[in-house]
């Protein structure tokens, strides 16, 4: 059962995060898009979803992240938003979209760090 959901805005960050989770011992699947059939990931520990939203408008990026979280997040699952290491993309609006999809009162912790 999925323990960690990671939403990313490009495939490079998606695969990098998935590889790090796998190295940490989590059975991880990285998805090329934000549309996956449940049988492809239901027995995994972590799911990394690429919304391909980095170059989108802030409004569309927010909606894509929100829809991804609404589709895949379940209670007791850690939900993460992968941010580009050079801070490209729609960081604020995508975090807003994620928070809107999660239960009221959920807080975001933003940790700027190179993934290694």
Average confidence score pLDDT of the chain: 90
Question: How do residues 6-17 score in pLDDT, each as one tens digit?
Answer: 999 999 999 999
Give Cβ neighbours of residue 48 (< 8 Å, ≥ 6 apart): 6, 8, 14, 15, 17, 18, 21, 28, 29, 30, 31, 82
- Contact, 20 vs 45, CB < 8 A? no
Find tokens 């190179």 and name the residue: 114
Give Rg (Cα) of the chain: 13
**Cα separation of 113 and 105, whole Å?**
25
3-class SS at 7? strand
pTM over 0.85: yes
CA count, 13 A, side-chain hemisphere, 20 = 13
72: closest CA among 23, 29, 12?
29
Question: How do residues 15-50 score in pLDDT, each as one tens digit?
Answer: 999 999 999 999 999 988 777 777 767 789 999 999
């Amino acid at each position: 059962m999925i323990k960690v959901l990671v939403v990313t805005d490009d495939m490079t960050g998606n695969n990098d995060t998935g590889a790090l989770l796998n190295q940490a011992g989590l059975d991880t699947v990285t998805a090329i898009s934000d549309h996956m059939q449940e049988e492809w990931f239901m027995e995994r520990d972590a799911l990394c979803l690429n919304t391909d939203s980095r170059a989108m408008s802030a409004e569309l990026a927010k909606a894509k992240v929100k829809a991804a979280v609404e589709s895949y997040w379940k209670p007791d699952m850690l939900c993460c938003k992968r941010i580009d290491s050079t801070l490209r993309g729609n960081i604020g609006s995508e975090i807003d979209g994620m928070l809107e999809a999660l239960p009221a009162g959920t807080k975001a912790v933003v940790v700027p760090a190179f993934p290694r």
